[in-house]
Amino acid sequence: MVVVEAAAPWQYYLRSPQITALARRRQEMISAMGFNLQVIPYFRWDTLKDDSAKAELLKKQLPKESSTRKPSRLVAPMSVASRVHRFKALQDVLAALVVDEDDVAGAVQDVPRDLSREAMEPQVSRLVGTRQVMASEVALASLSTLLPDSVIQQALALVDSKSIHLVTSQLGRKAYEVRGQKASHFVLARGLYCSCPYFGRRVIEAGELCCKHWLAVQVAQRCGTGIGSSECLQEDEFLDWSRQRMLGCQPA
């Protein structure tokens, strides 16, 4: 299916023919949904004198065989498809950091059956810890194929220094504040968002997968370490706290 859009002025940077990062992501998402997106810039649309000229331009944007061709499933642009696949791979790697029931069951099977329950528990704990270390090493090696080494190392440094502050609402909503030497940044772990400049510049605009702050929160969540402080707020307080940090107007 073809979608023709007359792109409005708000989709472009001021006094520039370049579309904004938000508009580009919107167009990529439309294409990723399977639509054949044809964009007509507002500055071209506005030069057309009358409706007949606009109708003629719209006809040119449509594929010639669109009326007779059988519907086909369109493939998302390579950049979008590649990023979706890489982000799914990143989520899989992060999931490997968690010790699950299979790890515990495997550790139990490795313990001699003739041991008493009291003697078995420390052995199981030790083996589970060993499995977690091995899984972490494999996960870190896998991360290096998806993310820049600088992002990984700086994220691990944030975890080691316990620079993550967890804020929970009474209804269980969670948000994080990652505190650096110069500034603190607001992170939403469910989904993908961070208030740092790197996220806006490199993740949204350049297509990288995440920033160090978001990665640090993900590692801390799964490994159970790195969260240096936490607090629970009323719902309205939580919303105010989140809004202030998203807008960059933190109270003194």
Confidence at residue 55, expressed as pLDDT on a 0 to 100 scale: 85
| Mean pLDDT calculated for residue range 1-23 | 79
Sequence-separated (6 or more) residues with CB below 8 Å from residue 93 = 139, 142, 143, 146
- Residues with Cβ within 8 Å of 213's Cβ and at least 6 positions away in sequence, in order, are 155, 158, 178, 185, 187, 194, 196, 199
Buried-state track 59-88, b at ≥16 Cβ within 10 A, e below 16: eeeeeeeeeeeeeeeeebeeebeebeebee
Percent of the chain at pLDDT exceeding 70 = 71
Higher pLDDT, 38 or 109: 38
Contact 143, 93 (CB under 8 A): yes
Q: For residue range 189-211, list pLDDT tens digits in order.
A: 887 889 899 998 888 888 889 99
Contact 80, 31 (CB under 8 A): yes
Residues 6+ apart with CB under 8 A from 1: 34, 35, 36, 71
Q: What is the 3-state secondary structure (H, E, C) of 111-134?
A: CCCCCCHHHHHHHHHHHHHHHHHH
d(CA 230, CA 220): 13
Per-residue pLDDT reduced to its tens digit, 70-108: 444 433 444 555 777 888 888 888 887 765 444 444 444
Structure tokens, 30: 């439309």
DSSP 185-226: EEEETTTTEE-SHHIIIIIITT--S--HHHHHHHHHHHHT--
User: What's the distance, Cα to Cα, between the start and end of the chain in Å?
Assistant: 52
Query: Rounded mean pLDDT of the chain?
Result: 76
- The two tokens of residue 179 are 């505190």
Q: Which residue has the higher pLDDT, 230 or 146?
A: 230
- Whether the full predicted model's pTM is greater than 0.85, yes or no, is no
Amino acid at site 123 = Q
Nearest to 61 by CA among 136, 4, 119: 4
Lowest-confidence pick of 74-78, 170-174, 184-188, 243-247: 74-78
